[in-house]
Chain A
């Protein structure tokens, strides 16, 4: 039994052995080949994906799961010479929505946000879709969130895909309107600017200086944007920050401006249109530059209401213009140029050479009137300037060549930009060549007569006139007006600006003395007696420029009131131009403003800052709370009951 079994087992073994050697080894070999082939194919595929295409897929992974946002660099501060920060930044919370992250969930997210922010869903939705068109990666849905709003959103961030709250620095102008024209403002970069500047690291969300110092010193103030890379999950929620490049703050500007003077100047112009410019005669540094009416630059950041915008943009006083840099007819303030030309050309050799003013002047067939219809009688140079006698200067005008007056004007800096800012007018100094070129006409001698009292084609800006009188004040040094004294970099290094002397004008000292004397006489006994400040020598010249109404229907326009002057205890310490647009007479309107300005400059009266500051902080005036009846209804009720 056992044997038989063995035999059968043995036989089957033999059979199996034959089968194995014949084919199974072969089949197993091919199975192994198949295995290695498949392993090789799979490994090769992963090698291709993970090594050769690695950088491609990393880029895709990054663009899918990482969003890059710009962190705006804080702009540089702007600080006055006396250390008051007049343009700075404040931290605000801004609500952003990532366009890609919120995709297909817009309504849901916006509805939740409308509940959290207590805003109308429809309005919020409209705002989102409007902003989406102009934004690339994310939409700034709401800026300057309140603390409670931030808290409400932050705790629900998980349910708000695509939503993020960022702390950003926002431009802040503590003194608003007083500095508007000097500092300018910032607002969102526009398309042309972006295309021009994108190589310099600007993003479409950036703010850019549009006027004043903010525009002129954009490169210094800008700083360098930082970047932050944030993970975005498949549901659009923003998570961990994976990389962060901190922004570099812009450089600070330290100005030549005197804060008190600037605020005083703005206060003086309140309710009027015009400009006040004050220069330092020793180097041309601008001590104050104000234009009125003004605009609150903060509004460009927080936004104007429709009504505000309409009121500002349609106002005939054009609040956007910096009138200190716009050109107007200078009127009698120009007479010093006529006098200087006459002295230089030897038309006047002695101030006692006199002219009789009967109140009018006949030239050819025309009669030119003196502003004083009764006439000034016999006037020499000094009296002529002091009382601003037109007839005296008409007479000079007949003896002078227009090109000579023009070349002296240009020598003193008229007809060219004083600061070099984009919003500045160069003004106009007419001469024969100009008239032939522009009007295709020859110069008429009568036009020289008109020019000699600062009327006609001549146009000068308040700043140019201040520059002109600065030369008289400092004895011939034509400095280029400047406003930024120092650029202070983030690392502490400083770039100091040196005053630029455009030229030293040679003025005969005797001539200079006569002019100075007559300017002092203007304030002492002439047209600007109202500018006198006790203990201070004030010298200047009034101007009342006639404005010709272009439209016949319009009623007669008031004259421009000018007063250009310098003042000092012993030597001149300040030069100023007061310009009141359609203000009336120079002596009546402009000169008293100069007096107030000088009083503050020489610390005779207090500057208006304190009052301004109180207004800003909204501290109730003491008088209101502590005088008169105390209106407490509760107490009164009690008193009644007691009674």
Chain B
């Protein structure tokens, strides 16, 4: 027991930078929400989610072991989640309203899948995933994504990117990769023109708005145009608290959620953007390093997966609000308001840090 306690100390000491970055992001996110919140209750609600997430994070971190999870439990959780998604698909809902709170179950697909696949693959780690296994994994991933797709096309697509890139790093046979790659290319050339005609006007509009935000400034490009103005007018050092025109005068829609980073950029300028990118980037880097140094394959897969999810989440959110990518309604961890995303982020961080500290217990 004595030894174990020392190990804990050692574990925290070795990963101090990682913990500090999480703390910093936690603080930044809540301060940010405090300044954009129109009412105090809104801020407090967000803070409560973060505190809840943080408690879950610490509790699970020191009292559970990711490796001790049973395959059966994850397997049931996976099917229950699919069932919930299926029910929601029938009612064509994106949000699960439980009365006192509303959840976005699609967020939880990420960590369940991550955990499940990591466990499955780590049983027999290999340089490349055997095709048979790969097919099974594709099936595992495809099922929830197909269930999400009709209600939330963007999210399904982004999750596809997350898991596919993850599998690429774990190891996809070259032949299958080439096959898949050319298949995707062929698919996009053949299917995209057909799909384009099938797209709903608002989905087409998003593409128009993305391509020419200023031309469609009053309609499809409104959100992006306002976001670009907010970011651009932030300049080097930003407009400071309560000074930003876009934020204060109500020009930015979804300023608490999807466009929270545009507000951040307007308020703090490139300086603030750089600070956030540095902190968030370090967290991902930390995750990749955990994957590099940890000794078990379960941990390696898991921590890399967490890093990639965080990375894509960042890329699609920031890319969307800065006009690099079409605007998608994907939240940015820490800065965006939201219960589901906040809880998910802390669960993912639990998995990552659990891997990071557990490696000290093999000594």
Q: Of B231, B269, B308, which is in contact with the most chain A CB atoms at under 10 Å from its CB?
A: B231
- Flag whether A54 is at the interface (Cβ < 8 A): yes
In chain B, positions 204-233 with a C-beta closer than 8 Å to chain A are 228-233
Q: Which residues of the other chain, B, contact A16 by a CB distance below 8 angstroms?
A: 125, 295-297
A50 in contact with B251 (CB, 8 Å): no
- By beta carbon, the residue of chain A nearest B126 is A19
Known: A31-B288, A35-B281, A65-B251. A45 touches B324 (CB 8 A): yes
- Binding site secondary structure of chain B: helix
A54 in contact with B127 (CB, 8 Å): no
Contact with B169, one of A31, A47, A50 (Cβ below 8 angstroms): A31
What are 10 A-to-B residue pairs whose CB atoms are below 8 Å?
A16-B295, A16-B296, A19-B297, A28-B289, A43-B274, A45-B322, A46-B231, A46-B322, A61-B245, A65-B251
- B272 to A: closest C-beta gap in Å: 10
Q: Which residues of the other chain, A, contact B165 by a CB distance below 8 angstroms?
A: 34
Known: A49-B231, A49-B232. A239 touches B270 (CB 8 A): no
Q: Which of A152-160, A229-237, A379-387 contacts B (4 or more CB under 8 A)?
A: A229-237
Known: A31-B288, A39-B277. A50 touches B234 (CB 8 A): yes
Q: Which of B51-59, B133-141, B312-320 contacts A (4 or more CB under 8 A)?
A: B312-320
Count contacts on B: residues with CB < 8 A to the other chain.
50
- By beta carbon, the residue of chain A nearest B280 is A39
Interface string of B287-322 (1 = CB under 8 A from A): 011011001110010001001100100110011001
- Flag whether B235 is at the interface (Cβ < 8 A): yes
- Binding site secondary structure of chain A: helix
- Flag whether A129 is at the interface (Cβ < 8 A): no
- Flag whether A41 is at the interface (Cβ < 8 A): yes
B319 in contact with A42 (CB, 8 Å): yes
Q: Which residues of the other chain, B, contact A31 by a CB distance below 8 angstroms?
A: 169, 288, 291, 304, 307-308
In chain B, positions 237-287 with a C-beta closer than 8 Å to chain A are 245-246, 248-251, 265, 269-270, 273-274, 277, 281, 284-285
B270 in contact with A51 (CB, 8 Å): yes
Q: Which residues of the other chain, A, contact B288 by a CB distance below 8 angstroms?
A: 28, 31-32, 35
B169 in contact with A30 (CB, 8 Å): yes
A234 in contact with B229 (CB, 8 Å): no
Contact with B291, one of A28, A54, A239 (Cβ below 8 angstroms): A28
A235 in contact with B228 (CB, 8 Å): no
- By beta carbon, the residue of chain B nearest A63 is B229
- By beta carbon, the residue of chain B nearest A25 is B292
List chain B positions with a Cβ less than 8 A from chain A: 125-127, 165, 169-171, 228-236, 245-246, 248-251, 265, 269-270, 273-274, 277, 281, 284-285, 288-289, 291-292, 295-297, 300, 304, 307-308, 311, 314-315, 318-319, 322-324
- Flag whether A58 is at the interface (Cβ < 8 A): yes
A54 in contact with B251 (CB, 8 Å): no
Q: Which residues of the other chain, A, contact B324 by a CB distance below 8 angstroms?
A: 41-42, 45
B235 in contact with A51 (CB, 8 Å): yes
- By beta carbon, the residue of chain A nearest B227 is A49
- Flag whether A27 is at the interface (Cβ < 8 A): yes
A43 in contact with B273 (CB, 8 Å): yes
B249 in contact with A234 (CB, 8 Å): yes
- Flag whether A60 is at the interface (Cβ < 8 A): yes
B281 in contact with A39 (CB, 8 Å): yes
- Flag whether A56 is at the interface (Cβ < 8 A): yes
Q: Which residues of the other chain, A, contact B251 by a CB distance below 8 angstroms?
A: 64-65, 233-234
Q: Which residues of the other chain, B, contact A42 by a CB distance below 8 angstroms?
A: 277, 314-315, 318-319, 322, 324
- By beta carbon, the residue of chain A nearest B237 is A50
- Flag whether A53 is at the interface (Cβ < 8 A): yes
B249 in contact with A233 (CB, 8 Å): yes
Q: Which 6 A-B pairs have the closest CB atoms?
A: A57-B232, A233-B249, A234-B250, A61-B233, A65-B245, A28-B292
Known: A50-B236, A50-B265. A24 touches B292 (CB 8 A): yes
Contact with A235, one of B127, B232, B250, B314 (Cβ below 8 angstroms): B250
Q: Of A34, A38, A61, A232, which is in contact with the most chain B CB atoms at under 10 Å from its CB?
A: A61
**Considering the chains assembled together, what is the distance between the CA atoms of A321 and B121 in angstroms?**
102
Interface string of A3-33 (1 = CB under 8 A from B): 0000000000100100100111101101110
